[in-house]
Structure 1
Amino acid sequence: MKDSELIEQFNAKSDIEVISTKTLYKGFFQLDEYKFKHKLFSGGWSEVVTREVFERGNAVVVLPYDPITHQVVLIEQIRLPALATTNSVWLLELVAGMIAADEIPAEVAERELMEETGLKASEVHLVNSYLATPGGSSERYHFYWAKVDASKAEGIHGLDYEHEDIKVHVVDFDAAMAMVNSGRIDNASTVIGLQWLALNLDTVRQA
Structure 2
Amino acid sequence: MKTNVIETGTMNTTGTIEVIEKTTPFQGYFRIDRYRFRHSLFNGGLSGEITREVFERGHAAAVLPFDPKTGEIILIEQFRAGALAASMPPWLLEVIAGIIEENETPENMSHREAQEEAGCDLGRLKKIGTFLMTPGGSSETITLFCGETLRQEQRSSYGLEEEGEDIRTHMIKAEDAFQLMREGAITNAITAIALQWLELNQKQLVKEWQ
Q: Distance in 1 between matches of 2:87 and 2:164?
A: 22
**By how many angstroms is 1:143 displaced?**
0.8
Q: Distance in 1 between matches of 2:154 and 2:146?
A: 16
Q: Distance in 2 between matches of 1:155 and 1:135?
A: 38
Contact 1:154–1:169 at 8 Å: present in 2 too?
A: no
Map Cα deviations across residues 175-197 of structure 1 (whole Å, 9 max, x no partner).
11111111111111100110111
**By how many angstroms is 1:152 displaced?**
4.9
Q: TM-score, normalised by structure 2?
A: 0.89
Name the aligned partner's letter for residue 158 of structure 2.
H
Partner residue, 2:73: 72
**By how many angstroms is 1:172 displaced?**
1.2
Q: Distance in 1 between matches of 2:196 and 2:169?
A: 20
Partner residue, 1:136: 137
**By how many angstroms is 1:162 displaced?**
0.8
Identify, as 1 or 2, the structure richer in strand.
2
**By how many angstroms is 1:85 displaced?**
3.1
Map Cα deviations across residues 78-125 of structure 1 (whole Å, 9 max, x no partner).
001111334421101000000123221111111011111111112122
Partner residue, 1:123: 124
Partner residue, 1:111: 112
Contact 2:121–2:152 at 8 Å: present in 1 too?
A: no
Q: TM-score, normalised by structure 1?
A: 0.90
Contact 1:153–1:169 at 8 Å: present in 2 too?
A: no
Partner residue, 2:161: 160
Contact 1:119–1:148 at 8 Å: present in 2 too?
A: yes
**By how many angstroms is 1:28 displaced?**
1.6
Partner residue, 1:196: 197
Contact 2:128–2:197 at 8 Å: present in 1 too?
A: no
1:175 aligns with 2:166: no
Partner residue, 1:90: 91
Contact 1:72–1:150 at 8 Å: present in 2 too?
A: no
% identical aligned pairs = 41
1:8 aligns with 2:9: no
| Count of matched residue positions in the alignment of Structure 1 and Structure 2 | 200
Moved more, 94-103 or 119-128: 119-128
Distance 1:115-1:58 versus aligned 2 partners, 3 A rule: same
In structure 1, list runs of 5 or more residues that go unmatched: none
> What CA RMSD, in Å, does the superposition of the two structures yield over aligned residues?
1.7
Partner residue, 1:186: 187
Identify, as 1 or 2, the structure richer in helix.
1
Q: Distance in 1 between matches of 2:175 and 2:153?
A: 20
Q: Distance in 1 between matches of 2:155 and 2:134?
A: 32
